[in-house]
Structure 1
Amino acid sequence: MRIEVSTQKPEKMEVDLLAMALFEDSERSDSSFLAIDKALGGQLTEIFEEKSFCGKKDETTLIYTHQKIPVRKVLLIGMGKKDKIDVFTLKKAAAKAVKQSKKEKCAKLGFWSIDPLPFRVEEVGQFVSEGLVLGNYEFNQYKTKEKEEELTVSSCRIYTAIQDEKEKFLQGIKMGQSIGEAISLTRDLVNEPANKMTPENMALEAEAVARRKGMKIEVMGKEEIEKLGMGCFLGVAQGSEKEPKLVVMRYEGDSQNTDQMLGLVGKGLTFDSGGISLKPAAGMEEMKTDMAGAAAVLGAMAAIAEIGPCANVVGILGLCENMPSRSAYRPGDVLKSLSGQTVEVLNTDAEGRLVLADCLTFVERLGATHIIDVATLTGAVVVALGNHYTGVLSNDDDFQASVLDAGKMAGERLWAMPKDDVYKDQLKSDIADLSNVGGRGAGMITAGMFLEAFVEEKPWVHLDIAGTARTSEPVAYEQKGGTGAAVATLVQAACHFNKRK
């Protein structure tokens, strides 16, 4: 979809559908609103007087213009009260516009908020364009039944009356479109079935992205992982016939500041059966999404390379399967990590932290000075925060604050969990340095503190996306399945890496 800025009056736009975003308390005194209302014989005024449309959040009404203005159809989209507006409402309004445009077979779309929005102009461009891209997203390539061919929305013109800030608007649109496309890529990876998205195939996807975006990439197989000494990673992978892959992606955007590097680490369990500690059958099909952390890192690296921030970023994908077999690791086994620390396995379904442990040590050895890991790590974070917030744990208050700020700029919900050494006692082992589970209580925190043991005092933030990486109740800019959680936060963190306080 081509997205552009328009300073042409909305009533004169030659588009098939004009989406008008309105608040409940919109004054409706704008000259273009009045011009459209007059051309339509007072139809807009009548709709509001009859209260068939009030501007409430998520409310929509479609109007046929009968060629009284160049626009064929007008879509009214409610955004609720002005003082309650947030970026989620703005993204939803844009997504609803593109979905309705497709439904109405309108190839050319226009988008206009009749009231000034309480965001910077570049933020408006970013979140509207991101909403447009994500509203256009579908994953249906495995459906073979004949269906009516759906029209593609070829373009969207976003109206602004502020001509002197057009360049900032365009910058925001570019950012939002890049992030939206990266989230769509991540959703594709997460939604693929596990028999298609194997560790090898995901590594191939990473290579293809690196080629397109001009990034350096290295893919290591089982032998190289063994030579490195990643005993925890290999322990998880040994039950599967699919060979593990370790992917290193590099974006080099700051040649003047090579002593600073952001490391992004993603858990990539392309299928997690639980291993010998087998998961219940109900819902196990969703475990194809246990690589959402690695997918988020891959998507973020694609957007970072396209946007081009002044920063050096390395992305690590730890890819494998966790399967039960005669060669699988067992409860009671002791694994030796890349850091040299030993881990007693009390539950083979606590496998993601084992993969991440070695990947965290590895990214630090590659020179990362600040580290963010992303993982569908614990069911405990869902119990604590539900499916709306990503859990956050960190060893550095300043770096955590910068990542939380990145989440706000990205329009993602993050929540910092308490970190206290008292939780470390839950990870003690009788026969090894650590056990891989810390009991039922505070499961998200103890899992994060397990990871901290493999970070050698470098500023580190852990994002647990187990509750946010997929959805069964999508909002307008989502589809059932993968959400692309954390991609936008990682991109914003990279873009502001050298600007942090």
Structure 2
Amino acid sequence: MVAEPSPDGRSIVLNVGLGPARSATAGAFRRAAVAAVRAAGPARTLRLDLALPDDSGVPAADRARAVTEGAVLGLYRYDDFRSQKSASPLREVTVATSEHGAVAEALAVCDGTCLARDLVNCPADALTPTAFAHRVQHLADTVGLSCTLHEGQALTDLGLAGLAAVSRGSHASAGYVEVDYTPPAGPPALTVGLVGKGVTFDSGGLSLKPPGEMHAMKADMGGAAAVVGVFAALPRLGLPIQVRGYLPLAENMPGGGALRVGDVVRHLDGTTTEITNTDNEGRVILADVLVRATRPGPGRVDLVIDVATLTSAAVHALGTRTGALFSPDGSLADTILTAARRAGESLCRLPLLAHERRHLRSTVADRVNCSHRHGDTVQAALFLQDFITPGTPWAHLDIAAPAYNDETPYDEVPHGGTGFAVRTLIETLRLLSAQHHGR
């Protein structure tokens, strides 16, 4: 980066490089915009000019979209609980482009990503399951989505035994939210379900986490936050498909009524799970919701993607910046991986190794929720697969590591909540819509 005065001396010109000639990608534009906004110092206005010829290989719309994302996401701050705000002095950022539609789309995606970041960063005493549910309801009312909240006895009536069981140890009541986006023009020909794990604080329950692992457990609702971020953007994007969101919300605490090791949960599909570790609660609350989303009858979706901060084991294979993707459907997996690349998020597909099912066997129930053995990330995905109605395309995103950045900021990613998966999910929906309407 090189800074120099403008010819009239009234402003500073920042020249941000994009790498070797003709090597620029959308990611390079995104990172360049981040570098520019972070180097703006005390400036109140910033103009971003895309000084690259049209034969660069990156379409003009993609350039505009990436620069907008880099600028907005690079400026993100979370200071709701600071007595003195730390917002950037920048008051106006202009992206010099004629691709106004691409900029508008990018702003919608960024707003959804920043909302997901806010939710993850919010302290657990302020974002209880009930508070989370009410925020979703308020969002739905504001942007024109349909939304239904279930609490108390209604959870049992719906057959959400796993959610009810996990929440027993907390004074905070569990909640379950379904939110629905219907396209503005005509009946949709495709319905996609998004299921997000929403454990607003995970102490581990009676299988208590070590103190050093608990400080970031307000982020254990990162999957639900990502789904909410997607729904915040959908009305502005106007995609021609229907999207249904399923959000089980709970705290996992070690109170007197807490779920015990050895307890058995009977799920909505009639099968049972022996609890061998109460800290593997995420798969337990997701199980019934996946049955509800995919079983035959009214409300069934055509395909389902669940996103969850599910296992700490994934970080040992993939590091802290990459999420794990599981799916038995090669076409759906390829679509999600393409979407992740286009969105600038890192996903790696891992195999559903059938032989790992041996570690899920129970002597008293149909399965256990934890094997205490290596391979837990794969075993968790296999556990969830049990609850998908056969014939329904399904993918599982384990985002336990990249949903919360415990290091210093990098690229457009801040410290703390990252909003990981919002951009990938939105791009996946865009690709699915194009595929379906191209038939």
Identify the TM-score tier after normalising by the shorter chain: over 0.9
For the structure 1 residues 408 and 231, does the alpha-carbon distance in structure 2 shift closer, same or farther, using more than 3 Å as the test?
Answer: same
* Bigger CA radius of gyration: 1
Please list, as runs of the form range in 1=range in 2, the aligned pairs for 1:306-345 lying within 5 A after superposition.
306-345=236-275
Measure how far apart 1:64 and its partner are.
2.5
| SS of match in other structure, 2:39 | helix
Residue of structure 2 in register with 1:455 after alignment: 388
**Inter-partner Cα distance in structure 2 for 1:270 and 1:374:** 15
Q: Percent identity?
A: 33
Measure how far apart 1:345 and its partner are.
0.5
Given that 1:254 and 1:311 are in contact with CA atoms closer than 8 Å, whether structure 2 keeps it comes out as: no
TM-score, reference length from structure 1:
0.82
Unmatched runs of 5 consecutive residues or more in structure 1: 1-59, 160-165
Residue of structure 2 in register with 1:348 after alignment: 278
| SS of match in other structure, 2:215 | helix
| SS of match in other structure, 2:16 | strand
**Counterpart code for 1:239:** G
Residue of structure 2 in register with 1:38 after alignment: none
Q: 1:143 aligns with which of 79, 82, 86?
A: 82
1:406 aligns with 2:339: yes
**Inter-partner Cα distance in structure 1 for 2:373 and 2:10:** 59
**Inter-partner Cα distance in structure 2 for 1:351 and 1:212:** 32
**Counterpart code for 2:45:** A
Given that 2:307 and 2:397 are in contact with CA atoms closer than 8 Å, whether structure 1 keeps it comes out as: yes
Please list, as runs of the form range in 1=range in 2, the aligned pairs for 1:394-433 lying within 5 A after superposition.
394-433=327-366
Given that 1:243 and 1:320 are in contact with CA atoms closer than 8 Å, whether structure 2 keeps it comes out as: yes
1:229 aligns with 2:159: yes
**Stretch deviating more after TM superposition (390-399 or 115-124):** 115-124
Residue of structure 2 in register with 1:63 after alignment: 4
Given that 2:195 and 2:306 are in contact with CA atoms closer than 8 Å, whether structure 1 keeps it comes out as: yes
| SS of match in other structure, 1:398 | helix
Measure how far apart 1:118 and its partner are.
2.2
**Inter-partner Cα distance in structure 2 for 1:402 and 1:114:** 29
Residue of structure 1 in register with 2:62 after alignment: 123
Given that 2:176 and 2:247 are in contact with CA atoms closer than 8 Å, whether structure 1 keeps it comes out as: yes
Given that 2:197 and 2:221 are in contact with CA atoms closer than 8 Å, whether structure 1 keeps it comes out as: yes
Residue of structure 1 in register with 2:398 after alignment: 464
| SS of match in other structure, 1:478 | coil
Residue of structure 2 in register with 1:8 after alignment: none
Measure how far apart 1:149 and its partner are.
7.5
Residue of structure 2 in register with 1:491 after alignment: 426
Measure how far apart 1:473 and its partner are.
2.8
For the structure 1 residues 84 and 284, does the alpha-carbon distance in structure 2 shift closer, same or farther, using more than 3 Å as the test?
Answer: farther
For the structure 1 residues 404 and 110, does the alpha-carbon distance in structure 2 shift closer, same or farther, using more than 3 Å as the test?
Answer: closer
Residue of structure 2 in register with 1:251 after alignment: 181
For the structure 1 residues 172 and 95, does the alpha-carbon distance in structure 2 shift closer, same or farther, using more than 3 Å as the test?
Answer: same
Given that 1:262 and 1:497 are in contact with CA atoms closer than 8 Å, whether structure 2 keeps it comes out as: no
| SS of match in other structure, 1:78 | coil
Q: 2:18 aligns with which of 52, 56, 79?
A: 79
**Inter-partner Cα distance in structure 2 for 1:283 and 1:85:** 39
Given that 1:337 and 1:357 are in contact with CA atoms closer than 8 Å, whether structure 2 keeps it comes out as: yes
1:481 aligns with 2:416: yes
1:208 aligns with 2:131: no
Please list, as runs of the form range in 1=range in 2, the aligned pairs for 1:374-413 lying within 5 A after superposition.
374-413=307-346
Residue of structure 2 in register with 1:111 after alignment: 49
1:170 aligns with 2:100: yes
For the structure 1 residues 257 and 400, does the alpha-carbon distance in structure 2 shift closer, same or farther, using more than 3 Å as the test?
Answer: farther
**Inter-partner Cα distance in structure 1 for 2:93 and 2:11:** 15
Given that 1:98 and 1:153 are in contact with CA atoms closer than 8 Å, whether structure 2 keeps it comes out as: no
Number of residue pairs aligned between Structure 1 and Structure 2: 430
Given that 1:216 and 1:249 are in contact with CA atoms closer than 8 Å, whether structure 2 keeps it comes out as: yes
**Counterpart code for 2:396:** H
**Inter-partner Cα distance in structure 2 for 1:394 and 1:199:** 29
Given that 2:196 and 2:248 are in contact with CA atoms closer than 8 Å, whether structure 1 keeps it comes out as: yes
Given that 1:438 and 1:447 are in contact with CA atoms closer than 8 Å, whether structure 2 keeps it comes out as: no
**Counterpart code for 1:411:** G
The structure with higher relative contact order (CA 8 Å, sep 6+) is 2
> 4+ runs of 1 displaced by more than 4 Å?
147-150, 254-259
Residue of structure 1 in register with 2:290 after alignment: 360
**Inter-partner Cα distance in structure 2 for 1:376 and 1:153:** 35
**Inter-partner Cα distance in structure 1 for 2:87 and 2:173:** 39
Given that 2:46 and 2:90 are in contact with CA atoms closer than 8 Å, whether structure 1 keeps it comes out as: no
Given that 2:146 and 2:181 are in contact with CA atoms closer than 8 Å, whether structure 1 keeps it comes out as: yes
Measure how far apart 1:411 and its partner are.
1.8
Residue of structure 2 in register with 1:260 after alignment: 190
**Inter-partner Cα distance in structure 1 for 2:79 and 2:379:** 38
Q: 1:155 aligns with which of 93, 96, 102?
A: 93
Measure how far apart 1:426 and its partner are.
1.5
Measure how far apart 1:71 and its partner are.
5.9
Measure how far apart 1:216 and its partner are.
0.4
Unmatched runs of 5 consecutive residues or more in structure 2: none
Measure how far apart 1:354 and its partner are.
0.6
TM-score, reference length from structure 2:
0.93
**Inter-partner Cα distance in structure 2 for 1:331 and 1:227:** 24
Measure how far apart 1:89 and its partner are.
2.4
**Inter-partner Cα distance in structure 2 for 1:70 and 1:438:** 67
**Stretch deviating more after TM superposition (148-157 or 389-398):** 148-157
**Deviation string, structure 1 residues 250-297 (Cα, Å, up to 9, x no partner):** 001177554631000000000000000000001312000000000000
Given that 1:304 and 1:494 are in contact with CA atoms closer than 8 Å, whether structure 2 keeps it comes out as: no
**Stretch deviating more after TM superposition (216-225 or 109-118):** 109-118
CA RMSD of aligned residues (A): 1.9
